[in-house]
Each structure stands twice: as structure tokens, then as C-alpha cells.
Amino acid sequence: EAGVVQSPRYKIIEKKQPVAFWCNPISGHNTLYWYLQNLGQGPELLIRYENEEAVDDSQLPKDRFSAERLKGVDSTLKIQPAELGDSAVYLCASSLGGPAIQQETQYFGPGTRLLVL
């Protein structure tokens, strides 16, 4: 079974430029998460989706960040314009969704490392 797929793996841009990250969750997983991981720290949630509905976007900086999950499968996270402080790793995770720990366990993709110059 394929895992969570993310692209690109690396991205270098200049500040004020736009950037987009793509995530394809594990097949059949209804819930999708975007996390931000700064260097040397644990990930922090940006947004989570149940199917195509964003159910928690309270930590998403909405002035410059946007996300979408069309048709409840793939998701795109966008930053426009990027700032120096956005340099980090952006992780996507998915879970099956359900009442048991097996269904609520999140599985992560390899991440996208963003460097803003």
C-alpha cells in the first residue's frame, strides 16, 4: 500500500514569491492534516480536513496561507507571499477516521522542506 505522497521534496524561493505544496493521502483515508515543523522542534498543526471540509484551521495564518482539499482526496497548501520565517518543513499526514486507535492513527508523508531567501 502506498504511503502519503508529498511534492515537491525541496523548494527554494525568494521572499514575496508564492509557493504551493501538494499532498496525496493514503487511499481511503478520510482525514488529512498539514503540520509545520520548524528546525529542532515537533510538528504543529496548521489545518485538518475531514473529507473536503476544513474542521480546524485555527492555527493557519490566513493572511498568507490557504489550503484546499478538492473532492476529499488530494490537498494543496499555498503561501502567498512567502516570508523568511516560513522556512520550515511542511508535513502532510492522513488517517482513516473512526472510533478506534488504529483508525485515528496518523501516517506522515516525507515532507517538503521550504527555504525562503
Residues that bind another protein in the complex, under the rule CB under 8 A: 30-31, 33, 35, 40-45, 48, 50, 55-56, 89, 91, 93, 95, 97, 99, 101, 104-111, 113
Q: Residue type for 43, please?
A: P
Cβ atoms of residues 67 and 59 within 8 Å: no
How many CB atoms are located within 10 Å of the residue 31 CB? Answer: 20
User: Of the two residues 48 and 69, which places its CB atom closer to another protein in the complex?
Assistant: 48
User: Of the two residues 42 and 85, which places its CB atom closer to another protein in the complex?
Assistant: 42
- In the three-class reduction of DSSP (H, G, I as helix; E, B as strand; rest coil), residue 85 is classed as helix
Please report how close the Cβ of residue 101 comes to another protein at its closest, in angstroms. 5
